[in-house]
């Protein structure tokens, strides 16, 4: 069983993201989504800068989001006019709930930008944990849409801001599959002089 919330240790040992394209209703309602976000914000934040922003995309905004993605794709890829852009439509409309996490490092802060970006990444991981704790499955996606300057600007991102990812929440339409995990001894070593 994945995302077993019977204990914190069990949850961490069974944590598994779902595929956004395989998510169906129900997703979190407004109160649950607000709580998921509030829980996610309880993250390491050196300097108490809150160097991140969360943008929710409501169901009635999915068409506008799809149009933004297609417009930006064609603008950034001049040969793309007339191409089949249905994958961008599908991206914008998958899963019942969608939000965008943006890293917003505070310029001039004594906390290095890298640490602030890592704090935003920690918010991302907490979003998944909080969604799973509410009984939903989550997916953190990036890809072209996370690196497009035009798309980022549409979400209010400044010049030094970056989209950390798109977070999709819902109910899995099928059982989750395990994926290969790194072998402990391949990624952990003892430091010795």
How many other C-beta atoms lie within 10 A of the C-beta of residue 145? Answer: 21
- The domain in which residue 147 lies consists of 23-76+87-175
What average pLDDT does this structure show over 161-171? 99
pLDDT over threshold 80, residue 166: yes
pLDDT tens digits along 46-60: 999 999 999 999 999
pLDDT reported for residue 83: 75
Residue 2 lies in a domain: no
pLDDT reported for residue 78: 81
Q: Strand (E) positions, 65-161?
A: 97-103, 137-141
Residue 4 lies in a domain: no
Residue 169 lies in a domain: yes
Residue 8 lies in a domain: no
- Nearest C-alpha neighbor of 113 from the set 43, 156, 51: 51
Q: Is the CB of residue 75 less than 8 Å from the CB of residue 150?
A: yes
The pTM (predicted TM-score) of the whole model is 0.95
Residue 42 lies in a domain: yes
pLDDT tens digits along 69-128: 999 999 998 887 677 889 999 999 999 999 999 999 999 999 999 999 999 999 999 999
Q: Maximum Cα–Cα distance for the chain, whole Å?
A: 60
Residue 9 lies in a domain: no
Residue 162 lies in a domain: yes
Under the banding of pLDDT at 50, 70 and 90, the label for residue 1 is confident
Average per-residue pLDDT for the chain: 96
pLDDT reported for residue 130: 98
Q: Two tokens at 146?
A: 């996370």
Residue 158 lies in a domain: yes
146: domain CATH number? 3.40.109.10
pLDDT over threshold 90, residue 15: yes
Q: How far is CA 86 from CA 43, 74, 92, 155, in A?
A: 36, 13, 10, 22
Q: How many domains does the chain have?
A: 1
pLDDT reported for residue 67: 97
């Amino acid at each position: 069983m994945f995302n077993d919330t019977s204990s914190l240790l069990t949850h961490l040992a069974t944590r598994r993201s779902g595929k956004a394209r395989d998510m169906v209703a129900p997703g979190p309602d407004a109160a649950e989504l607000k709580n998921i976000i509030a829980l996610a914000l309880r993250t390491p934040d050196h300097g108490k800068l809150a160097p991140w922003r969360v943008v929710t995309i409501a169901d009635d905004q999915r068409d506008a989001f799809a149009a933004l993605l297609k417009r930006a794709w064609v603008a950034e890829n001049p040969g793309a006019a007339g191409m089949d852009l249905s994958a961008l439509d599908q991206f914008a409309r998958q899963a019942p709930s969608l939000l965008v996490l943006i890293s917003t490092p505070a310029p001039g802060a004594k906390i290095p930008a890298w640490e602030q970006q890592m704090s935003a990444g920690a918010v991302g991981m907490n979003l998944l944990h909080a969604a799973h704790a509410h009984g939903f499955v989550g997916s953190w996606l990036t890809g072209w849409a996370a690196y497009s300057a035009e798309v980022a600007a549409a979400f209010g991102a400044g010049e030094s801001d970056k989209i950390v990812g798109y977070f999709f929440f819902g109910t899995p339409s099928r059982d989750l599959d395990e994926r290969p995990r790194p072998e402990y001894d391949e990624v952990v070593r003892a430091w010795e002089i």
